[in-house]
């Protein structure tokens, strides 16, 4: 029998479980996500990037282990009480499950400072609650409200706001000491092999601002002031394949599919978005910060519960002195404008277009 004192060890037990699973399964395969009910791929790539796909059907012992663990009381309890954090965007490995109803995110000093200020700002109800810091395995994490905790099999969409996703300070730094990034060159040619210049092809590397600017222009960020980063549907399938999604028409289709053509859900999102915008327009925090790389997290479920929150403040920086932004003016380097509200105007108008389309088709 479990003693009360041994309950905190559940975290350690879960970590050990993950380690064991990682050693049983293939590196980078989605087996763990399967257990958490996120996705059930039937085929995954064979080791060493071989062209031949390998199926689990060949390994019946593996299937037995999988169903044994999947239906073990531990996993069932875990699934019921601690809905896994679904990371659609952002840095891999930055999140852990926290206390029930919380998630842990690796501490970033700038982000922590933002959360501390937000807890006393008019935006408080539109961001996850900040519940202090937690030490775990020698790392410090901020503990945040799990925004998915009150939903049943939620659909989730991450929309990165603003016309640019890099700080002015990053541009300046890169000019002074340019660092070449081979990983970013690789990500660039995976999307478009013609995107790098002749020189970049020779170096097989690009600078970070160059990559970020290219990403903003390839997607809808530069033109519309936001981009869809990732969507997870209620069936557990998820995609982040939106790097080249740029046109308003394409986004209308994506949003229609995200709300599963449900007029009531679209209407609730519009209401929430307008509430967020009103809160932002009257927020002293929002006025006095350059808000870059921050997302709106859209969440709904089949019971038509709907929520929208502002998340990710790692690149939200306070402005000097009493400088303020209107978040709608065009960005020119030096004015620090980020186009957040310009983007939100467009998000709302796209949801309205989707809603109008759904109401006219239901007449």
| 295 counts as binding ligand I3P under rule CB under 6 A | no
Q: CA–CA separation, 262 vs 256, rounded Å?
A: 8
Task: Assess contact for 255 and 242: CB atoms under 8 A.
Answer: no
Give the span between the Cα atoms of 90 and 66, in whole angstroms. Answer: 29
**Of residues 102, 165, 221, 295, which one binds ligand I3P by CB under 6 A?**
165
In the complex, least distance from residue 177 CB atom to ligand I3P, rounded to whole angstroms: 15
Q: Is 162 in the site for ligand I3P (CB under 6 A)?
A: no
Nearer to ligand I3P, 212 or 291 (CB): 212
Q: Measuring CA to CA, how many Å separate 180 from each of 90, 166, 199, 212?
A: 21, 16, 12, 13
Of 246, 315, 327, 355, the residue at the interface with ligand I3P (CB under 6 A) is 315
Element (H, E) at 159: strand 155-161
Q: Nearest residue to ligand I3P, using CB?
A: 293
Which of the stretches 137-145, 208-216, 271-279, 342-350 binds ligand I3P when contact is defined by CB under 6 A?
Answer: 208-216
Cα gap 180→160, rounded to integer Å: 25
Structure tokens at 200: 């970049």
Residue 111 dihedral angles phi and psi, to the nearest 5°: -65, -40
HSE (side-chain half, CA atoms, 13 Å) at 23: 5
User: Binding segment for ligand I3P among 66-74, 207-215, 327-335, 339-347 (CB under 6 A)?
Assistant: 207-215
Taking CB under 6 A as the criterion, which residues in 175-204 touch ligand I3P?
187
From residue 107 to residue 146, the character string flagging contacts with ligand I3P as x (rule: CB under 6 A) and all else as - is ----------------------------------------
DSSP-derived secondary structure for 216-248: HHHSSHHHHSEEEEEEE-TTS-EE---TT---H
- Is 314 or 339 the residue whose CB approaches ligand I3P more closely? 314
| Shortest Å distance, C-beta 168 to ligand I3P | 13
230 binds ligand I3P (CB under 6 A): no
Q: Which of 105, 117, 215, 232 binds ligand I3P (CB under 6 A)?
A: 215
Residues at the contact surface with ligand I3P, assessed by CB under 6 A:
165, 187, 208, 212, 215, 293, 314-315
């Amino acid at each position: 029998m479990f003693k009360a004192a041994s309950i905190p060890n559940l975290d350690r037990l879960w970590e050990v479980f993950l380690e064991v699973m990682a050693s049983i399964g293939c590196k980078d395969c989605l087996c763990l996500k399967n257990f958490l009910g996120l996705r059930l791929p039937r085929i995954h790539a064979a080791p060493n990037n071989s062209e031949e796909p390998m199926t689990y059907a060949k390994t019946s012992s593996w299937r037995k282990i999988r169903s044994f663990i999947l239906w073990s009381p531990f996993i069932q309890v875990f699934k019921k009480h601690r809905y896994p954090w679904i990371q659609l965007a952002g840095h891999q490995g930055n999140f852990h499950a926290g206390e029930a109803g919380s998630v842990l995110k690796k501490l970033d000093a700038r982000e922590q400072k933002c959360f501390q200020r937000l807890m006393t700002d008019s935006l408080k109800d539109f961001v996850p609650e900040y519940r202090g810091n937690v030490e775990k395995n020698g790392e410090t994490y901020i503990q945040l409200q799990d925004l998915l905790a009150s939903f049943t099999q939620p659909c989730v969409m991450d929309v990165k706001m603003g016309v640019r996703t890099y700080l002015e300070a990053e541009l300046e730094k890169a000019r002074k000491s340019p660092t070449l990034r081979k990983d970013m060159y690789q990500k660039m040619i995976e999307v478009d092999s013609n995107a790098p210049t002749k020189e970049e092809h020779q170096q097989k590397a690009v600078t970070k601002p160059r990559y970020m600017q290219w990403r903003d222009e390839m997607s809808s960020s530069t033109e519309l002031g936001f981009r869809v980063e990732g969507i997870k549907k209620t069936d557990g399938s998820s995609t982040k394949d939106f790097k080249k999604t740029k046109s308003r028409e394409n986004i209308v289709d994506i949003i229609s599919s995200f709300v599963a053509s449900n007029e009531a859900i679209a209407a609730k999102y519009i209401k929430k978005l307008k509430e967020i915008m009103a809160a932002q327009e009257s927020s002293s925090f929002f006025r006095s910060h350059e808000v870059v790389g921050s997302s709106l997290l859209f969440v709904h479920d089949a019971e038509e519960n709907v929520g929208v929150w502002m998340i990710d403040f790692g690149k939200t920086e306070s402005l000097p002195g009493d400088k303020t932004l209107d978040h709608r003016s065009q960005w020119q380097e030096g004015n620090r404008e980020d186009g957040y509200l310009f983007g939100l105007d467009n998000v709302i108008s796209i949801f309205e277009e989707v809603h109008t389309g759904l109401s006219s088709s239901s007449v």
